[in-house]
């Protein structure tokens, strides 16, 4: 408690301004710290998950006795596996996958895209 | 004959009509408040303005202003020592006054936050953490309203309670007001919820005024997918940071993050479901009813109430402006990758403010889809207003 009851009756404009400035600075500072920590934690978690996925990918052929993946059908709008995008944005990749599925007549959930890569840059 | 006369006199003396003229003074204020309650009920039912909140609040106003009903009586001075009756027992306390203990003790606002946490997807915020800054900037109105309230002669405690309306978060406003200026709780809660319902009318002119057409047309990049682990870690990290810096924020944020952990951890489906539905509905009824019941005509119809309503509107406007202005700054820094309209969603009021950003964005670019981008600042606003509340409590409690 910084402002006691005897103080509570009056507060000068200078003190009010100072309180307001410190207040908004505190909110900004705390939320900025949270933002930074989210970025940091996300980065750590994603790198751990990527490593785990990589290990799982390389480990799979080495264990022929491993059980086959569960036969849970994917939704029609989703393809199988992890897709790596190189210089291609997600909407463009989605359009490409939809076109391939449409032209080949194979449902998207039965297709497995490994990567989509932009080979030529328009600027060149 | 004498007995019949006594019965009739007794009935008259116990009637509400007689209570309307208690002490020889016509209690017109109660009648005005009954009229206000009917108008609010009309808006809630016929116009569907925030009916889940407005119906219980309006009915609470109606109940508290029934002459002679005594639903908010406090003869033992449990919460209000102004009308203590000697020899009274606690069970003679009015039924709404007893329920009001949940507001006074901050149990209801905290439980509402538990439900809000269980209903909130922090994914958009996690995929774009810069949204948090927009949520912080959109608390500007709180501090502007605080300064103006001080200039208008309110005590710092009252000014802080009124200013928190700018956080556009009903439970937070109730939480702060019940601790700092309980006598102003009725007008503050009603102003906060009314302005939240009026967001689609308050925000667009400010958004239009502060942005150019080019800025409003900006299409934002698709958000990345957030993993389950990130969503589980988030509530714990946020709570630890906030509570270590500002322990006074722990009751609100703690419950918000507990609710969110219920939702994201995936092993307590039943608890998450209860927090989102049954508990949320029960607490909303009790909170709405008792907050409405604090609006007794005798203490509600004052010039102070009008000042609070005006300051609340001012706080809302400045909060919207704060978010949009930081959005403009981010637009410049990112070379046009951020649409400043999403900054307005930083005023909390989930998900209405985000919907307003989406609607306004589509007005200028029909192919634009800003909703998920606006949800980031929107949920950041919930955290921001809770932190602002914690700051004010740390200063003035």
- B392 at A interface, C-beta within 8 A: yes
Residue B58 lies in a domain: no
A78 and A124 in one domain?
yes
Q: How far is residue B99's CA from residue B288's CA, in Å, rounded to a whole number?
A: 11
CB distance B62 to B296 below 8 Å: no
Residue A16 lies in a domain: yes
A50 and A86 in one domain?
no
List, for residues A8-43, the tens digit of each pLDDT value.
Answer: 567 889 999 999 999 999 999 999 999 999 999 999
CB distance B293 to B65 below 8 Å: no
Q: How far is residue B371's CA from residue B356's CA, in Å, rounded to a whole number?
A: 9
Residue B9 lies in a domain: no
A55 and A82 in one domain?
no
Q: Tell me the residue range of the domain where A77 lies.
A: 73-124
Q: How many Å is the Cα radius of gyration of chain B? A: 23
Instruction: Say which residues have a Cβ less than 8 Å from residue B347's Cβ, sequence separation at least 6.
Output: B138, B141, B166, B167, B168, B199, B203, B316, B319, B320, B323, B353, B381
Q: Give the residues across from A80 on adjacent strands.
A: A112
A50 and A85 in one domain?
no
List, for residues B190-213, the tens digit of each pLDDT value.
Answer: 888 888 878 888 999 999 999 999
- Domain count within chain A: 2
Residue B23 lies in a domain: no
pLDDT, residue B272, reads 96
Residue A6 lies in a domain: no
- Highest-confidence range of A53-62, A68-77, B66-75, by mean pLDDT? B66-75
Residue B72 lies in a domain: no
Residue A90 lies in a domain: yes
- B132 at A interface, C-beta within 8 A: yes
Question: Residue A80 gets which letter from DSSP?
Answer: B
pLDDT, residue A120, reads 60
Residue corresponding to tokens 């994917």: A74
Phi, psi angles (nearest 5°) of residue B303: -60, -35
Residue A1 lies in a domain: no
Q: Produce one character per residue of B270-297: b if its CB has 16 or more CB atoms within 10 Å, e if not.
A: ebbebbbeebbeebbbbbbbbbbbbbbb
A45 and A89 in one domain?
no
User: Among B135, B143, B234, whose Cβ lies nearest the Cβ of A38?
Assistant: B234
- Domain count within chain B: 1
List, for residues B350-383, the tens digit of each pLDDT value.
Answer: 888 999 999 999 999 998 899 999 999 999 999 9
Residue A31 lies in a domain: yes
List, for residues B262-294, the tens digit of each pLDDT value.
Answer: 999 999 999 999 999 999 999 999 999 998 998
Q: How far is residue B272's CA from residue B258's CA, in Å, rounded to a whole number?
A: 10
Residue B213 lies in a domain: yes
Residue B27 lies in a domain: no
pLDDT, residue A9, reads 60
Q: Tell me the residue range of the domain where B281 lies.
A: 104-396
Residue A122 lies in a domain: yes
Residue B89 lies in a domain: no
List, for residues B297-311, the tens digit of each pLDDT value.
Answer: 888 888 999 999 999
In which band, very low, low, confident or very high, does the pLDDT at A78 lie, cut at 50, 70 and 90? low
Interface of A with B in 49-88 (CB under 8 A): 49
CB atoms within 10 A of CB B130: 19
Distance from the Cα of B172 to chain A's closest Cα (Å) equals 15
A123 and A78 in one domain?
yes
A109 and A80 in one domain?
yes
Residue corresponding to tokens 């889940």: B52
Residue A65 lies in a domain: no
A84 and A53 in one domain?
no
Report the residue of A38, A43, A49, A89 to disrupt the B interface, i.e. the one with the largest count of B CBs within 10 Å: A38
Residue B336 lies in a domain: yes
- How many residues in chain A? 124
Residue A3 lies in a domain: no
Distance from the Cα of A28 to chain B's closest Cα (Å) equals 5
CB atoms within 10 A of CB A84: 11
Q: How far is residue B269's CA from residue B252's CA, in Å, rounded to a whole number?
A: 22
A50 and A21 in one domain?
yes
């Amino acid at each position: 408690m910084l402002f006691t009851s005897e103080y509570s009756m009056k507060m000068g404009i200078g003190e009010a301004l100072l309180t307001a400035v410190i207040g908004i600075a505190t909110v900004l500072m705390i939320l900025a710290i949270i933002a930074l920590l989210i970025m940091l934690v996300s980065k750590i978690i994603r790198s751990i998950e990527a490593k785990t996925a990589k290990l799982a990918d390389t480990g799979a052929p080495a264990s022929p006795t491993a059980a086959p993946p569960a036969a849970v059908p994917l939704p029609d709008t989703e393809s199988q596996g992890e897709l790596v995008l190189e210089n291609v944005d997600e909407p463009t990749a989605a359009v490409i996958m939809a076109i391939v599925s449409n032209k080949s007549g194979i449902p998207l959930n039965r297709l497995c895209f490994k990567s989509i890569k932009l080979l030529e840059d328009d600027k060149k | 004959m004498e007995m019949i006369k006594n019965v009739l006199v007794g009935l008259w003396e116990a009637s509400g009509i007689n209570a309307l003229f208690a002490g020889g003074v016509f209690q017109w204020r109660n009648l005005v408040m009954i009229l206000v309650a009917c108008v609010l009920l009309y808006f809630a039912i016929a116009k569907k303005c925030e009916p889940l909140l407005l119906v219980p609040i309006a009915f609470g106003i109606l109940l508290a202003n029934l002459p002679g009903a005594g639903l908010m009586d406090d003869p033992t001075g449990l919460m209000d020592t102004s009308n203590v009756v000697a020899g009274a027992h606690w069970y003679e306390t009015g039924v709404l006054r007893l329920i009001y203990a949940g507001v006074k003790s901050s149990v209801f606002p905290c439980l509402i936050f538990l439900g809000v946490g269980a209903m909130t997807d922090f994914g958009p915020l996690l995929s774009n953490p810069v949204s948090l800054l927009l949520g912080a900037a959109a608390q500007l109105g709180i501090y502007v309203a605080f300064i103006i309230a001080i200039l208008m002669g309110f005590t710092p405690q009252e000014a802080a309670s009124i200013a928190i309306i700018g956080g556009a978060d009903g439970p937070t406003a109730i939480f702060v007001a019940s601790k700092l200026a309980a006598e102003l709780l009725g007008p503050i809660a009603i102003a906060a919820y009314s302005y939240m319902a009026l967001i689609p009318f308050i925000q667009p002119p400010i958004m239009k005024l502060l942005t150019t057409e080019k800025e409003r047309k900006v299409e934002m990049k698709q958000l990345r997918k957030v993993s389950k682990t990130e969503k589980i870690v988030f509530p714990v990290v946020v709570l630890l940071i906030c509570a270590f810096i500002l322990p006074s924020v722990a009751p609100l944020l703690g419950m918000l993050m507990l609710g969110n952990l219920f939702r994201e951890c995936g092993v307590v489906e039943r608890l998450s479901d209860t927090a989102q539905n049954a508990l949320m509905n029960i607490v909303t009824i009790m909170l709405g009813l008792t907050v409405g019941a604090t609006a007794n005509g005798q203490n509600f119809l004052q010039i102070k109430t009008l000042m609070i309503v005006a300051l609340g509107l001012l706080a809302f406007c400045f909060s919207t402006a704060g978010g949009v202005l930081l959005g403009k700054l981010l637009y410049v820094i990112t070379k046009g990758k951020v649409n400043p309209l999403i900054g307005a969603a930083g005023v909390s009021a989930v998900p209405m403010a985000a919907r307003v950003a989406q609607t306004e964005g589509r007005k200028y670019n029909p192919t634009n889809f800003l909703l998920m981008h606006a949800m980031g600042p929107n949920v950041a606003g919930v955290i921001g207003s809770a932190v602002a509340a914690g700051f004010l409590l740390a200063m003035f409690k």
